[in-house]
Structure formats: C-alpha cells, structure tokens
Amino acid sequence: MNNSFRIFLLFFVALITVSVSATYCLADDNIMTKAEFAEMIVKSAKIELPEGTKDLTDAEYHEVLFNVLVDNKIGYFAGAKASDPVSFEEFAGVLYNMVGGEEKLNTDEQLVYLADHGHIPPDFLVVRDVREGIAEYKKEKGSYPTQLDQALNGLAAQDNPFFTDVMQVAVDTSWTKRDFFYTAPSTGAVYTYEPESGKFSTTSNIDLNFAIETFTNFEKPKGEPEDEKELLDS
C-alpha cells in the first residue's frame, strides 16, 4: 500500500470530533470555505504540516496547507483561494477521487455514484431521477414540461407529491417547494427548474455541518484493515 493511498484511507476511517465554533471561522450561512475543507482533510488524515507552520500569517498558512494537499495527490487545492466556498460538485469530485473512483465521470455522475454507494445522502438520486424524467418527457413530447408537478408550495406529502410530471415514483416526504424552487432535505441545497431549458440545477455551496457529518459517517471500505495501527503497519 503506497503512502498516498494510506493517507486517503486514513482520511475515511478517522473519527472526526470537530467543534465547529472552536475550530473554524465560518463564512456567512455556515458555508464551508476551501481553507476549512483543507483543514478538515489534513486533521482527519493526520497529515503533518511543515515545522513552523503555526507561526505563519493566515495567507502563508493557507498556501502551505494547499501545497501539502497537492503533494498528497489532491490536486483540487492547486491555486485555491482560502475564502472561496466549496460547491457540492467540488466536494463530490474530491470525495469521488478519494474513494477510488476510476471512471471519468461528470459531476452529476459522480454525485450519483457517491449516493448509490452510500457516501452522500440520497437527495442526489432524486435529482438524477428528476433530470432523467425531464429528458424522457422532452423525448416523448418534443418540449420540456412547463412544471414538474401539480403540488402546492410547502412540504411534500402523500396528498401533495412532488415531481409527478416527470417521475413514476413521486417524492412525498421531506422535500419542500416554492414555485420552481425545490429544497433537498439532507443538504439544504435549493434546486431550480427552468422550463425553457429543462435544467434542474443548484448553485448552492456545501454546508459545513453537512460536510462534517458526511466525513464522520463515511464507512471504511470492506476488506481493509480494521484500525489505523494496522494500516500504518501494512
């Protein structure tokens, strides 16, 4: 087992005990920044930073932090700006690479892969099904649907199901709706439907608490050593 793979595996099996208020300086709306994302990876994977790093200015510290991760084959942080938010797509891309995803998938396919394998919440499977339903509707009708359902604004329920115009199995719990805006329950991401283009997409960034919960609950791949000591000794 090479060193980079050990680091990746340790990242996932490590139990994260993070005090959000004490460890991170949160941006508006509890959005995770690239600096916070980098610190989370370094701490959970127990990656050592160069001696004297703690005495650097914030700017110098973040540069060292990003460079160390790039050296550990996490190229996402190359040229990163510390205060920039982390999008769901970026978060998924890093996770996908670190769980050993080998196929060249687009961001939507990466999200589906991670959801299918239990690494992220099933919200993304709903998003996949909605998008596939929209495409199928266009194929059959020749145009995109003017709306995704007949549901009233508010919470999805058995008597107020969502996505009935594009899905055979409607969503009748947890999601909320306001006109063309749909909010996913696990991540809080707001997806917008655009009837003219058929797009069902989000510009939401990753919530820090969601990221911590995802990392903490990440299951160790089957067949791997049972603890960190065994990993390090292998």
For position 158, what pLDDT does the model report? 94
How far apart are alpha carbons 34 and 22 in whole angstroms? 17
pTM for this prediction: 0.58
Burial call 184-202: b when 16+ CB within 10 Å, e when fewer: bbbbebebebeeeebebeb
Q: Which residues contact 89 (CB under 8 A, 6 or more apart)?
A: 107, 110, 111
Q: Which residues contact 34 (CB under 8 A, 6 or more apart)?
A: 66, 77, 80, 81, 82, 83, 84, 85, 86
Residue bearing the bigger pLDDT, 224 or 159: 159
How far apart are alpha carbons 166 and 195 in whole angstroms? 12
How far apart are alpha carbons 9 and 116 in whole angstroms? 20
Q: CA dihedral defined by 212, 213, 216, 221, rounded to 10 degrees?
A: -120
Q: What is the pLDDT of residues 59-109, one digit of tens each?
A: 999 999 999 999 988 889 999 999 999 887 788 888 888 777 878 888 778
| CA-closest candidate to residue 45, choices 102, 111, 94 | 94
Average pLDDT, the chain: 78
Q: What is the pLDDT of residues 4-54, one digit of tens each?
A: 544 444 444 332 222 222 222 333 446 889 999 999 888 877 888 999 998
Q: Are 208 and 39 in contact (CB under 8 A)?
A: no
